[in-house]
Amino acid sequence: MSVTAHKQKPDAGPGGTLPSLAGGYLTKVKGGDMGALPAVTALVVLCIFFWVAQPSFMTQGNFANLLTQGGAGIVIAMGLVFVLLLGEIDLSAGFTSGVCAAVLAVTLTRQGWPWYAAVGIALVVGLVIGLALGLIVVRIGIPSFVVTLAAFLALQGVALKIMDNGTNISIHDKTVLAIANDNVPILLGWGLCAVAVLGYAAVLLLRYRNRAARGLAVESPAVVGLKIAGLALLLGAAVLVLSMERSYNPALHSLKGVPIVVPLIAVLLVLWTFVLTRTTFGRHVYAVGGSQEAARRAGIDVDRIRITAFVLCSAMAAIGGLIAASRANSVDPNTGGSDVLLKAVGAAVIGGTSLFGGRGRMLDAVLGGMVIAVIDNGMGLMGYSAGTKFIVTGLVLLLAAGVDALSRKRALPGR
Amino acid sequence: MTASAPPDPRTPVIELRGLDKSFGPVQVLHDVAFSAHSGEVTALVGDNGAGKSTLVKCVGGIHPIDAGEYLFDGVPVQVNSPRDAAALGVEIVYQDLALCDNLDIVQNMFLGREKRNGLILDEYTMEELAAKTLAGLSVRTVKSVRQQVSSLSGGQRQTVAIAKAVLWNSKVVILDEPTAALGVAQTQQVLELVRRLADRGLAVVLISHNMNDVFAVSDRIAALYLGRMAAQVRTCDVTHAQVVELITSGRSGDLGLAGTNGNGNGART
């Protein structure tokens, strides 16, 4: 996925030409915003490293695998972006996804509900958990760290209770299983790719036209063209690779096409990016994260924004839980447990979302989630143990948080 | 109690009469009279704890007043919340700025009052209006209205905060120590901006500790002493020394409060 510059870049100089694009980025870095560059660099370096070290990393089969592996984490990370933007944290997002997956599994199998009802109730459970967390944090005023740490423990217990103290529940519903296991037909894959590129082009060109018509500073047509071409190239290449046969025995069972989870994440990415950058709610989320006092004085209902962020986070965790359940074909008490949450927080932070609030994008969660998935997958292929993987992922997270803290430190004294 | 200001044919935009304000047992403002006229800069001076900020917050609707009259354009009004004040056209630019560092200039200027096109933010109109407002104030120090506030200097931040207050066709702009944290050149810029606001017909209230600033831009000076209005005078009628005396002792010659010398039973905050 390319770096979709949905934020208007600082239009330095007359007309946002290519050199000023670099210049604008530099100003942003000075302002404490590293953007997506660290994550993209890490992604490229890691991919090349694993490719050299283990050629089987760069196969179409593994590429598809990578995307479905990372799916649940990416979706949970996207939800976390909302709370992180406010400078809060939700440590219970992992087990929220676990509880929702458990609800899904129990209603599907033991209650025999149709898939849409089961998915619906799982989402509602997510919303309710988020509402409860938000209300406790905002109305009572307990720090979100403590509230969600308590919820982390409690929800783990709830998941155990739902699954009768730890039985593994298999899922047989075809629709739910399809999310992480089936692929979009080849033609539809290309169609979706075209829709994405054309949609992106339409947004950029419309903005160009409207800004030009009002005499506002515009990006140079070259930059606009480059952005569109870049996205087209990246998506095209990805769909091309995913459309190749990746079954070892195609005659027996053909396996090709874009995994369904990919367009699902893309839709969520576009939706939440739109909400964060184009709506009043999104603007207020950034404002509250930047300065709660300033937001309050501007007449923003700070409490409502904070509660909503927790609700959205938990709802996204619920969707993450569905994907995890679908991928594992089952739900057990460990779904959403162990390192799921830490990896999701890591994904958002590695992508460039600040732990201090006020800075971050939806795209960060996807990029950071890909970095984590690549480390996980690549090191697994190279035969490293889980222990080594944990250590490396931990170090990468520390590195990303360090970059975040340092860039913030640099930004602050410049008053 | 107060020395009457020179008679003015025009009605003040804001006029407070007999204002009292207490916080619990502490009475911060005693029978204060204060007025601000359009097209003029009224400097509000006073020592620490004299009640300047409290008076301003009463005007801005943040503190409800205990007693007294609040007249706007000569009409008595009730101002119970910042929203009421904003509806009248009273904007306060606070000392601690109230800007979001992580948002750009346009986003800050429209924060909480965003222009929308259906569901979608109308960025084009907002950017246009912001640029127009800054241009109208002859602000040339800001390179781009899409700059993040975190990348601005102190003077530029102050400029943005003031422009934010002006954007809403406000009639009264109250500036709380706008030059306190600024260097010489930036102070000059902000003072010029303050003067320009008044020249555009707004009533500007400037809180300041700096006598040079006060004499540089103000038309009137209102001096608070221990929660009482010592005097409200025309700047051209008084000297530096007189104002300092008013601030420190509440009276200067025949100006100021009667019999407060060494008495000082007004409450300190």
- pLDDT, tens digit, 9 for 90 and up, residues B163-206: 888 888 788 999 988 888 788 888 888 888 889 889 888 899 99
**CB-based contact, A9 to chain B, within 8 Å:** yes
Partners of residue A295 in chain B, C-beta under 8 Å: 100, 111-112
When mean pLDDT is compared across A132-136, A172-176, B202-206, the lowest value belongs to A172-176
CB atoms closer than 10 angstroms to residue B24: 5
- The neighbouring-strand residues paired with B42 are B205, B220
**CB-based contact, A52 to chain B, within 8 Å:** no
B115 to chain A: closest CA residue: A280
Q: Give the CA count within 13 Å in the CB-facing half-sphere of A348.
A: 30
* Residue A415, pLDDT above cutoff 70: no
Please determine, for the modelled complex, whether the ipTM score is greater than 0.85: no
B118: left (phi over 0), alpha (psi -120 to 50) or beta: left
CB atoms closer than 10 angstroms to residue B212: 12
CATH 1.10.3470 fits A35-182+259-404, yes or no: yes
A33 to chain B: closest CA residue: B102
Mean pLDDT over residues A218-239, rounded?
90
Please tell me the distance from the alpha carbon of residue B243 to that of residue A47, in angstroms, as a whole number: 72
Please tell me the distance from the alpha carbon of residue A192 to that of residue A163, in angstroms, as a whole number: 38
- DSSP states of B249-268: HSEETTEE-TT-TTT--SPP
**CB-based contact, A227 to chain B, within 8 Å:** no
Beta strands in A233-323 (DSSP E): none
Please tell me the distance from the alpha carbon of residue A138 to that of residue A133, in angstroms, as a whole number: 9
Closest CA to B37 of B218, B168, B189, B212: B218
When mean pLDDT is compared across A35-44, A155-164, A343-352, the lowest value belongs to A35-44
Please tell me the distance from the alpha carbon of residue B214 to that of residue B208, in angstroms, as a whole number: 7
Q: Give the CA count within 13 Å in the CB-facing half-sphere of A307.
A: 13
* Domain boundaries defined on chain A: 35-182+259-404, 183-258
A16 to chain B: closest CA residue: B144
B105 to chain A: closest CA residue: A10
* Residue A264, pLDDT above cutoff 90: yes
- Per the prediction, chain A carries an average pLDDT of 86
**CB-based contact, B153 to chain A, within 8 Å:** yes
Please tell me the distance from the alpha carbon of residue A152 to that of residue A341, in angstroms, as a whole number: 10
Six-digit token string for B24: 């619990």
What is the DSSP-derived secondary structure letter of residue B39? T
Are the beta carbons of A38 and A46 closer than 8 angstroms?
no
CATH 3.40.50.300 fits B1-89+170-269, yes or no: yes
Under an 8 A CB cutoff, do B127 and A216 touch?
yes
**CB-based contact, B98 to chain A, within 8 Å:** yes
Stated as kind and residue range, the H or E segment containing A101 is helix A93-109
Mean pLDDT over residues A94-100, rounded?
94
Please tell me the distance from the alpha carbon of residue A204 to that of residue A183, in angstroms, as a whole number: 30
Are the beta carbons of B163 and B141 closer than 8 angstroms?
no
Residue A283 sits at the vertex; the CA angle it makes with A282 and A286, to the nearest 5 degrees, is 90
Partners of residue B143 in chain A, C-beta under 8 Å: 12
* Domain boundaries defined on chain B: 1-89+170-269, 101-169
pLDDT computed for residue A24 by the predictor: 63
Under an 8 A CB cutoff, do B153 and A358 touch?
no
Six-digit token string for A237: 């290449």
